Chains A and B, each alone.
Chain A
Amino acid sequence: DSGVTQTPKHLITATGQRVTLRCSPRSGDLSVYWYQQSLDQGLQFLIQYYNGEERAKGNILERFSAQQFPDLHSELNLSSLELGDSALYFCASSVGLAGMGEQFFGPGTRLTVL
Chain B
Amino acid sequence: DQQVKQNSPSLSVQEGRISILNCDYTNSMFDYFLWYKKYPAEGPTFLISISSIKDKNEDGRFTVFLNKSAKHLSLHIVPSQPGDSAVYFCAASGLGGSNYKLTFGKGTLLTVNP
Interface residues of A (CB under 8 A from B): 2, 4, 33, 35, 40-45, 48, 55-56, 58, 90, 92, 97-108
Contact = CB atoms under 8 A, between A and B. Distances in A.
Contact of B100 (A90, A98, A108): A98
A45 B89 contact: no
A97 B95 CA distance: 12
A107 B45 CA distance: 10
B114 interface: no
Contacts of A43: 44, 89, 91, 104
A58 B47 CA distance: 24
B60 interface: no
Given A100-B93, A105-B36, 10 more contacts: A2-B43, A33-B102, A42-B4, A43-B89, A43-B104, A90-B44, A92-B43, A101-B32, A101-B49, A108-B43
B54 to A, nearest CB: 13
Contacts of B105: 42
A45 B46 contact: no
A99 B45 contact: no
Nearest to A41: B106
B100 A99 contact: yes
Contact of B102 (A40, A45, A97, A104): A45
Interface of B: 4, 6, 31-32, 34, 36, 41-46, 49, 89, 91, 93, 96-97, 99-107
Sorted from nearest, which 5 A-B pairs have the closest CB atoms? A105-B43, A99-B100, A42-B106, A43-B104, A56-B99
A90 B49 CA distance: 20
A103 B89 CA distance: 13
Given A45-B101, A55-B99, A105 B89 contact: no
Contacts of B41: 107
Contacts of A106: 43
Interface-centre pick from A35, A40, A43 (highest chain B CB count, 10 A) = A43
B43 A42 contact: no
Nearest to B96: A56
A56 B101 contact: yes
Contacts of B4: 42
B107 to A, nearest CB: 6
